[in-house]
Every structure is written in structure tokens, then in C-alpha cells.
Amino acid sequence: MPRALYFDAFSGVSGDMTVGALLALGVPFDLIRDELAKLAISGYRLERSTKKVSGIAATKFDVVVDVAPKGHLHRHFGDIRAEIEGSGLDRRVRDRAIAIFAKLAIAEGRIHQKPPEDVAFHEVGAIDSIVDIVGAAIGIEYLGAEEIFVSPIPLGSGFVDCQHGRMPVPAPATAELLDGFRARYEDGIGELTTPTGAAIVAAQARPEPPPELTVERVGYGAGTREGVDRPNLLRLVLGATAASSSEDLVVLEANIDDSNPEIFEHAAEVLFAAGARDVWLQPVVMKKGRPAVVFSVLADTGLREVLAGIVLRETSSIGVRYYPVARLEAPRVEKVVSTPFGEVPVKIATAPDGTVNVAPEYEVCRRIAREKNVALKTVYAAATAAALAS
């Protein structure tokens, strides 16, 4: 059965509470620390502690910035994405982290009328955000969560002071990010859900109510402030759902006959980072014999507007059509297998008639092939054989 993670956000969601709850579920603190060390950022340290809130033992995760930068230094989304892409993090962790940051940058870009690439994060806040977001991606991947769901999210009330001045609660970015999700305005005192927490939910969770879960473990992450009307905790539930045979998605398409083909690769990268399931090109011939391509995107229905906006921004298309599709999906598991060349992550899917399909992780196989000076197909074959034998 697919593994699922449920955000029981009765007191909102933040980045540090998410990582704390993931640690409480069994993600090793040393793993978070060692993996984060692969990023080219410094000047911070991580702390983990146990905090009792309303009698509940929860994990408190803190990012302590050692030295505050002088002046108003900023990091742009493009720079942060390049830092994550250039790190030694696992491909799936990088994809999760970039998707979360992309959601945040797109939301901030809408508010400030800027392209996502130009959105800047204050230096100290950028360090916190990078650590929280990448830490959450590491933890989610470690737990093997294939599906993520979230309860209705309380947003709080009042005002909060930030770099841009006094802002209403929820912060504009938080409100923008949770489009399509079940949220409760004027529920709670103060800011209960932060933009970082909302970005994690928006990029990783599904907006519909969760199915029935077979509960495996429960973990609590503690926030920094003391809750006024409720315990300031995030409860994460790890469990299994019944395998789903189909899911409803949307296909976005644009016919493009006037573009430099080199832009398509970049557009696809941006779309994948924003949560697209798949992106592909199909050659066609349009009126008057003009060669063109159909630029197609497969996505969750809730991402339709965001991804259509990216297509319009990143390509020369002036229109995007869309239509709903249903997809049948074979039950699958992910595991790491040992080969003579090293360990390789694989996906193993089982068809209705029992046929097993094995898909080794391409980026890992390619890296091993280069390091060991062997053919890529040899690494693929070894990983496939090891998966079938396990």
C-alpha cells in the first residue's frame, strides 16, 4: 500500500515545526545535518531539543544563524535554485526542495509583480528558509511518503511585522500559496501558518481531504511561541493508504511555431520545479506547412493556473488550452538496491497481471557509470537484476 503523510495542522504550519515533526517520526537528526552540509551555505548551526507542550512531548528544531550579515543582503530565487541544483543532494530531494521554493517565489512574484527568478529573500530569512525547506524535503524523502495530505489550515488573525512593514495575517504570500486548499481565516490569534509552511504544503500536499489511513507512527513538532488558544504543535501522521487505481489530472498544451527550441529545456525545468508531473514535446505541421511543436504539461488539477502562467511566461505562446485526463497507475514501491558498482535507488511497479517493471534512478546510474568508467547500460542491468532478486 502507498505510504502517506498527513499534516494535522490544528495550530498551523511552519517550516521549523515541519522538520521537528519529521524528526519525531524517526528521521535521523544526523541525516538532516549531514545532508544540509552538502549545500554551499554556512554561518548557521542546527539544534534539536524536546519540548513539552500541554503535556505532549514534541521535537523542537531550531536554525541558529551565527552571524547576522551587515546591510540588506538578499538571495534571489534563481541563486537559491542554482545552489540546490549544484549540491550533492539526492535528485528527488533537490526536486522537492526546488518545487517548494518555486511555489514561494511564484507567490511572492505575483504579489510584488516580479518574475519568480527576480524574487529576493532577505539573507537571514533565506538561510532559515533554505534549511527548513531542504530539511523538510530530506525528511519526507527519507520516510518514503508517496502521498501527502493536510487538514483544513488555520491561518490566524491580526497583523505581523516583517521586512516590508506591517502585514495582515495571513501574510499575502501565505494566502496566495494556499489557493485551492481548505483554510480557515480568523481562526486563532497571531500568525499560525507562515509562508514557508504554506509553501511546503502547497508544493507537496494534495488539496483534497485524505483517504482512510492505516496509522504507523505519529510525531509532534513544536513551534517557538507559546500558543494562546491552542498548543503550538504540528502533528504529522505516517501511515498507508489503499492503493489507488486512478487519479484525475489535467493536460496543458500550446502549439508553438515561432520559438528558439533552446528555450524548451529551460521551460521544462521551471515547470518541473513548480510541480509538473511530466513535460513533453511533439512535432506537428500547422497551416501553410509551418513546422511546430505541441508543448504539453501533465499536472495536478490544482496547479493548472500556476503552470499555465509559466508556459505563457517562459515560451512564445500567447494561449494555453487544457483538458482533464484520468491516469491508471500501477502500485509501486521505492527502494535502494546494492550492485557491484554501488547502491542505486529503484522504482518497482507491478502490473495487474503480476508483471514487474523496474526503473533505476537515471541520475544515480549516470554518476556511477562515470565514476566507475563503465557503460550506463551495465549499471542499469545490475540495478534491475538486484531489484528483481530482492
Q: What is the pLDDT of residues 154-211, one digit of tens each?
A: 999 999 887 667 889 999 999 999 988 999 999 999 999 999 999 999 999 988 888 8
Q: What is the pLDDT of residue 286?
A: 92
225 contacts 203 by C-beta, under 8 angstroms: no
> Measured between alpha carbons, how far is 156 from 12 in angstroms, rounded to an integer?
8
User: What is the CATH number that goes with domain 246-328?
Assistant: 3.30.70.1380
Q: Which of 355, 351, 343 is nearest to 383 (CA)?
A: 343
DSSP string for residues in 33-58 = HHHHTTSS--SEEEEEEEEEETTEEE
Omega prior to 172 cis, within 30 of 0: no
Residues 6 or more apart whose Cβ sits within 8 Å of residue 388: 356, 358
CA angle 139/145/150 to nearest 5° reads: 95
User: How long a stretch of residues is the chain?
Assistant: 390
What pLDDT digit, counting tens, does each position of 80-98 carry?
A: 988 899 999 998 899 999 9
DSSP state of 186: T
Class assignment of domain 332-389?
A: alpha beta
Per-residue model confidence (pLDDT) at position 72: 44
Low-confidence ranges of the chain (pLDDT < 50): 70-72, 123-124, 244-245
Map out the domains of the chain as residue ranges: 3-240, 246-328, 332-389
